[in-house]
Amino acid sequence: MPVITAPHEHNTEDLYVDLEPVFDRSLYLKVEGFNFAGSIKLKAAAEMVADAERSGLLGPGSVLVESSSGNLGVALAMIAASKGYGFLCVTDSRCNLSTRRLMEALGSQVHIIAEPDPVEGFLGARITFVRSLVDSDDRYVWLNQYRNQNNWKAHRRRTAPAIARAFPKLDVLFVGAGTTGTLMGCARFFREWHRPVRVIAVDSVGSVTFGGPAGRRMIPGLGTSVRPALLDESYVDEVVMVAEDDTIRACHRLARRGFLFGGSTGTVVSGAMSWLARHGDDGLTAVAIAPDLGERYLDTVYQSNWVHDLYGDLSEKELVR
């Protein structure tokens, strides 16, 4: 019987969903949402905080500050509450209301950026605000998930080895791209593994991460308006871009089979299914990483008025086909 004293000590590493009955294609989905932070971001948050403590950057009276679209903010809010630090999350208007309320319930402050930077979008505006806070007060400590090497190291140390243990004959791995911490950690691990594994990055249309044109993105999580500093494309075999209406279709199709996943997961699943449709899945052992669960998206991805207002008339038939 597991017994813990801090919330970040618990994380489920060995749960997979076989998606073949849902999509008629062989794909195993690694579920990362069953921890107290509700997403894969707990791993990076815990690793970055631990390193900051070891180096003396964090100590009594410190206030963590971080730019986040949601999931990392929740993870840091939880860890800060557990360890007695303050935490200020700098997010923007796309952050789900339930996510903001969750961070506040954990005792954190949330600052919402209302206007994007004209060149670097909401992310650029968030980072500018964080830098101004850090420059103005020595209590603020910015872990900087966009450049912090412990972001990807957490996944090379934990996420990728867990997949390797479960699937020793893995052929292809699908990973969503946000800060690219998960992507880079897994890609680095499998580059050195005993057999070749194709690592496919999944990104949102409108993201500039892999050089595409900037565009509107309303579902928080994957994609960026500033190229991630952690990204090394030499580790990535292919990139699949997913439109947000296809993200919503994947989420609803999963939900109709009882699996309520978040927007990031819907994007990864849609991209994986698109790739498998083009390349075939006969004999392939394929795994995709599901970063989050769906409860925080009930007012957006799973709310018919929100979907209709942003994406038009996506009929029920289209949503669940």
pLDDT tens digits, residue range 130-182? 999 999 999 999 999 999 999 999 999 999 999 999 999 999 999 999 999 99
pLDDT of residue 2: 83
Q: Is the pTM of this model over 0.75?
A: yes
Is 306 found in the same domain as 158? Answer: yes
Is 278 found in the same domain as 134? Answer: no
Which of 142, 166, 194 delimits the end of a domain? 142
Is 288 found in the same domain as 166? Answer: yes
pLDDT of residue 317: 52
Please give the mean pLDDT across all residues of the chain.
Answer: 93
Which of 76, 107, 142 delimits the end of a domain? 142
- Is residue 17 situated within a structural domain? yes
Average pLDDT value for residue range 236-245: 97
Backbone angles phi, psi at 155, to 5 degrees: -85, -30
**Whole-number percent of the chain with pLDDT over 70:** 98
pLDDT of residue 321: 47
- Is residue 2 situated within a structural domain? no
Is 126 found in the same domain as 22? Answer: no
Own/partner pairs, 156-160, CB within 8 angstroms, 24+ separation: 156/185, 156/186, 156/188, 156/189, 157/47, 157/185, 158/13, 158/43, 159/30, 159/32, 159/40, 159/43, 159/185, 159/186, 159/289, 160/185, 160/186, 160/188, 160/189, 160/190
- Is residue 245 situated within a structural domain? yes
Is 224 found in the same domain as 301? Answer: yes
Rank 81-95, 210-224, 265-279 by mean pLDDT and report only the highest: 265-279
pLDDT at 120 over 70: yes
Which of 102, 124, 142 delimits the end of a domain? 142
pLDDT of residue 318: 55
Give the tens place of pLDDT for each residue, 75-87.
999 999 999 999 9
Report the alpha-carbon distance of residue 145 to residue 147 in Å, rounded: 6
> Quick one: pLDDT band at residue 315, thresholds 50, 70, 90?
low
Is 180 found in the same domain as 298? Answer: yes
**Domain at 81, CATH number:** 3.40.50.1100
Is 192 found in the same domain as 119? Answer: no
- Is residue 267 situated within a structural domain? yes
Average pLDDT value for residue range 97-121: 91
Is 191 found in the same domain as 120? Answer: no
**Whole-number percent of the chain with pLDDT over 90:** 82
- Is residue 1 situated within a structural domain? no
- Is residue 177 situated within a structural domain? yes
Strands 16-18 and 28-31: antiparallel
Residue 20 structure tokens = 């073949």
pLDDT at 44 over 80: yes
What range defines the domain where residue 251 resides? 7-37+150-320
Is 175 found in the same domain as 155? Answer: yes
- Is residue 84 situated within a structural domain? yes
- Is residue 272 situated within a structural domain? yes
Is 237 found in the same domain as 206? Answer: yes
Is 284 found in the same domain as 162? Answer: yes
> Quick one: pLDDT band at residue 53, thresholds 50, 70, 90?
very high
pLDDT at 319 over 70: no
Query: What's the structural domain count of the chain?
Result: 2
Is 162 found in the same domain as 57? Answer: no
Biggest CA–CA distance in the chain, Å, is: 58
